[in-house]
Amino acid sequence: MYLKRIELLGFKSFADRTVLEFGPGITAVVGPNGSGKSNITDAVRWVLGEQSAKTLRGSKMEDVIFAGSSARRPKHYAEVSLTLDNQSGALPLEYAEVTVTRRVYRTGESEYAICGQPCRLKDIAELFYDTGVGKEAYALIGQGRVEEIIAAKPEERRAMFEEAAGIVKTKARKREAQRK
């Protein structure tokens, strides 16, 4: 599984529809300071369900919506789609390509979709369980995160190993069954 494409619309500095295509292997994003490199990783994190505006380097969720410039009006909503190559079948769906979308309005209301079908945030989290992808997973290592992993408490580090070992889904189901 790998990230094939990101489509941004009104997300942070990406006012216009912007499509970034990635191939298998390593991709480096380069550009001057403030040109939007980190905004791309924020977009990935956001689609995967990040709910903390601070983690996305803002103060409120509305801050992910293009705020306007001297030449451009602000946008009413932000939308990002991630397309993952699923030929390996890592994601439990019958598609060779899986697109996950999130949209947020200035009211703060978020909408999610998997392959164009509206869904809940929970469905997105479940889709990525045990794949190493997800807002908390190790597929995204932000600045400072390496130190954080080293300094993590044993329980926190254990959670990381559980995700890597692929048993998070089973544990979540067990918790849910025990609650019922």
Q: What residue numbers does the annotated binding site cover?
A: 32-39
Residue 36 CB, shortest distance to Mg ion, in Å, is 9
Residues 6+ apart with CB under 8 A from 6: 19, 20, 22, 40, 43, 44, 80, 81, 82, 83
Q: Are 131 and 1 in contact (CB under 8 A)?
A: yes
* C-beta closer to ligand ATP: residue 76 or 120: 76
CB 112 within 8 Å of CB 118 = yes
Rounded to whole angstroms, the maximal C-alpha distance in the chain is: 56
Please choose which of ligand ATP, Mg ion, none residue 4 contacts, taking the beta carbon within 5 to 8 angstroms, the exact cut-off set by kind. none
Q: How far is the CB of 74 from ligand ATP (least distance, A)?
A: 8
Q: Which of the listed partners (ligand ATP, Mg ion, none) does 92 bind, with a CB threshold of 5 to 8 Å by partner kind?
A: none
Partner interacting with residue 13 (select from Mg ion, ligand ATP, none; CB below 5-8 Å by kind): ligand ATP
One-letter identity of residue 138 = Y
Residues that bind Mg ion (CB under 5 A): 37-38
Report the partner that residue 48 touches, choosing among Mg ion, ligand ATP, none (CB closer than 5 to 8 A by kind).
none
- State the residues that interact with ligand ATP by CB under 6 A: 12-13, 31, 33-39, 63, 65-67
Complex with ligand ATP: residue 35 or 87, whichever CB lies closer: 35
Task: Indicate the residue type of 62.
Answer: E
Contacts of 33 (CB under 8 A, 6+ apart): none
